[in-house]
Amino acid sequence: MHVIHHRRFYPFVLLVGILLTTACTGLRRDTLPPEVSVADIALVGVTMFEQEWEITLRTRNPNDHALNLRTLDYQIMVEDRPFARGLSNEAVTLPAMGDALVKTRITTSLFDTLRQFQAMDYTPGQPVRYRISGNARVGNVPFALPFDRRGEFVMPAL
């Protein structure tokens, strides 16, 4: 029969307690995910096969405590069709009940984008529907917070 020696076991229990406490301090139980929307899209480069876009995302914090945004992984749909997938590793602190802009770059296939816009029933000056969804990683939390938002934008007349 083994007898547990309290002096040897106590440091282990203390270490586990400290690790669990610090792992959970990055996110409170009632934390809401950031709200992410598209603030601006700018075409910054075109090659024979690809387009490069700068996407400015408005990230809002609906919580009464600050969020340390580490990464965003997102997909943008335009008129219910996949447009692009993007990533951001720009660390941003979102103040409590505040917002911040996050700039990212995405690349799309020129042929796929042309095909997508030709298939849309688009009238210049009319709103175009979009959806942005993905995951945000905040603080030192090991899991991602999902977000999903719909909106509209008006494309300039060409």
Region 29-154: CATH code = 2.60.40.1820
**CA 140, CA 105: separation in Å to the nearest integer?**
25
Q: Give the mean pLDDT of 50-57.
A: 92
Residue 2 pLDDT class (50, 70, 90 cuts):
low
- The residues near 140 (Cβ < 8 Å, ≥ 6 apart) are 22, 23, 26
Q: What is the DSSP string of 79-141?
A: TTEEEEEEEE---EEE-TT-EEEEEEEEEEEHHHHHHHHHHS---TTSEEEEEEEEEEEETT-
Structure tokens at 23: 């792992």
The whole-number pLDDT of residue 19 equals 44
Residue 83's identity, in one-letter code, is F
**CA 94, CA 9: separation in Å to the nearest integer?**
41
Angle at 108 between CA 102 and CA 109, to 5 degrees: 175
Q: What is the pTM of this model?
A: 0.74
The whole-number pLDDT of residue 10 equals 52
